[in-house]
Amino acid sequence: MTQEPSITRRLTRSLAIVGGLGALLLLLVIGIEYRLSFNHLANGDAVQLALHELAEHVLLPMIVLIVPMALAGRWAIRRAMQPLRTAADEIDARADDVRGVRVAAASLPQEARPFADAINRTLERVDRAASMHEAFAADIAHELRTPLTLLSLELDRLQLPEAIPLREDVAQMRRLIDQLMLLAQVEADAAASMPPSRIDLVDLAGDVIARMAPLALDRAANLELAADAPVWTCGRREAIGAALRNLLENALRVTPPGGTILVRVAADGTMAVRDEGPGLDAASLAALVGRHRRADHASADGAGLGLAIVDRIMKAHGGTLSAAPEAREIRLGLPLSG
């Protein structure tokens, strides 16, 4: 199996070759200097004496010098490569950032800067392309809102039983469009480093529950809020509210009539939604976060984007989306604000 290319190995090998050639050249110079030849070393004692002289005055000093020089050379090579490792660690630390990731070229060796500059130019082009795609998607979503509103008004005039599922489908499409527009706004704010506002998660959860109450009543489900003192975070209130609302919609789908859905706000910045469904483990949640993936027990009217949107909103706020199957909870973790 071939080894992966390594600058450290290449430089070490090159230094070893240079050192070996230098040693051979030194021996050749010594031989010329002392005018040694096979004729002069015809006597066995002379050969032994010459080898002894070479070993004592040439080979031994060379070995004494080569070993520490090899270690020092390897240390110097690793030290020269350290800025590259530091830059890689800094990029890995920003793995969740979708915009503005750049290589700090100023801290890199001069030889590596052209490569880092080329990477940064590529990242800038990717950012511009992503911004154009998001703006295009937001424009499409905005343009779709008007015809969907008109369609909803026309369906409201119909008193036929067939119009009921159509109205539900149109309402679902409008909610999805609103979520996509909100997600585009959140990502645009994150890219522009817009200052967030201070939010009380307990107050936000109560507001979302109040808005979801008619839907819960229609499905014969109970909504409860468990919280103590206010819990403060920073971000976009509409976005975090949309994330919680998505979790509540999923919980309403899997909770049987007469069941209870509990929204719990903890002092550590966690908002948890507990339903009476089968629950999700971490692996299932990770799979469902992938876009256009929907849980087996979800209803057919789901668009499959809910959890992906929730996950993106959490990442934009420096938070997490996680599952606690033993408690049948889906949890939103947000950083606290002092």
CATH number for the domain harbouring residue 266: 3.30.565.10
- Quote the number of domains for the chain: 3
> Does 303 lie in the same domain as 328?
yes
Query: What gap in Å lies between CA 125 and CA 10, rounded to an integer?
Result: 33
Q: Does some domain include residue 100?
A: no
CA distances from 321 to 2, 223, 265, 273 (A): 41, 21, 14, 11
Distance of alpha carbon 95 from alpha carbon 45, whole angstroms: 71
Q: What are phi and psi of 286, to 5 degrees?
A: -60, -35
HSE-up of residue 259 (Cα within 13 Å, Cβ side): 15
Same domain for 253 and 270, yes or no, is yes
Same domain for 172 and 302? Answer: no
Q: Last residue of some domain: 93, 118, 143?
A: 93
- Could you tell me if 7 and 62 are in contact, meaning their C-beta atoms sit under 8 angstroms apart? no
Tokens 């979520």 label which residue? 179
Amino acid at position 329, single letter: E
Q: Do residues 216 and 256 both lie within one domain?
A: yes
Strands 232-235 and 222-226: unpaired
Are β-strands 329-333 and 320-324 bridged in parallel, bridged antiparallel, or unpaired? Answer: antiparallel
* Mean pLDDT to the nearest integer, 180-200: 73
How far is the C-alpha of 236 from the C-alpha of 198, rounded, in Å? 8
What pLDDT is recorded for position 298?
Answer: 44
Q: What is the pLDDT of residues 86-97, one digit of tens each?
A: 888 877 777 666
What is the b/e burial string over 84-112, where b = at least 16 CB atoms within 10 angstroms of the residue's CB? Answer: beebeeebeeeeeebeeeebebeebeeeb
Shared domain for 117 and 41, answered yes or no, is no
* String of DSSP letters for 300-320: TT--S-HHHHHHHHHHHTT-E
Confidence grade of residue 302 (pLDDT, cut at 50, 70, 90): very low
Assess whether 35 and 55 both reside in one domain.
yes
Mean pLDDT of 188-202: 76
CA 168 to chain centre: 36
DSSP 160: S
List, for residues 203-258, the tens digit of each pLDDT value. 999 999 999 998 899 888 999 999 988 999 998 888 899 899 989 988 988 888 88
Residue 300: its pLDDT value, please? Answer: 41
DSSP for 263-292 reads: EEE-TTSEEEEE-SS----HHHHHHHHSTT
Residue 324 confidence (pLDDT) above 80: yes
Are residues 301 and 217 located together in one domain of the fold? yes
- Are 319 and 233 in a shared domain? yes
Q: Are residues 190 and 200 in the same domain?
A: no
Is residue 157 scored above 60 in pLDDT? Answer: yes
Q: Integer distance in angstroms from the first to the last C-alpha of the chain?
A: 55
103 assigned to some structural domain: no
221 and 305 inside one domain = yes
- What integer pLDDT is reported at residue 225 of this predicted model? 94
Residue 98 forms part of a structural domain:
no
What confidence score (pLDDT) does residue 35 get?
59
Tokens at 336, concatenated: 């606290």
- The whole domain housing 269 covers 195-338
Mean pLDDT confidence for 273-296: 74
For residue 299, which amino acid is it? S
Q: What tokens does 197 get?
A: 């506002």
If asked whether residues 177 and 199 sit together in one domain, one would say no
Q: Supply the pLDDT for residue 41.
A: 57
Task: Compare 324 and 189 and report the one with higher pLDDT.
Answer: 324
**pTM over 0.75, yes/no:** no
Planar angle of CA 55, 75, 56, nearest 5 degrees: 10
pLDDT tier for residue 126 given thresholds of 50, 70 and 90: confident
Range scoring the smallest mean pLDDT among 43-52, 293-302, 321-330: 293-302
Confidence of residue 5 (pLDDT cuts 50, 70, 90): low
Instruction: Please tell me the least confidently modeled range out of 28-32, 224-228, 331-335.
Output: 28-32
Summarised one tens digit per residue, pLDDT across range 35-76 is 555 555 556 666 677 667 777 777 777 777 777 777 777 788
- Kindly indicate the confidence band of residue 196, based on its pLDDT and cuts at 50, 70 and 90: confident
Residues 119 and 178 in one domain: yes
Nearest residue to 332 (alpha-carbon basis) of 292, 285, 295: 285
Percentage of the chain with pLDDT > 70? Answer: 81
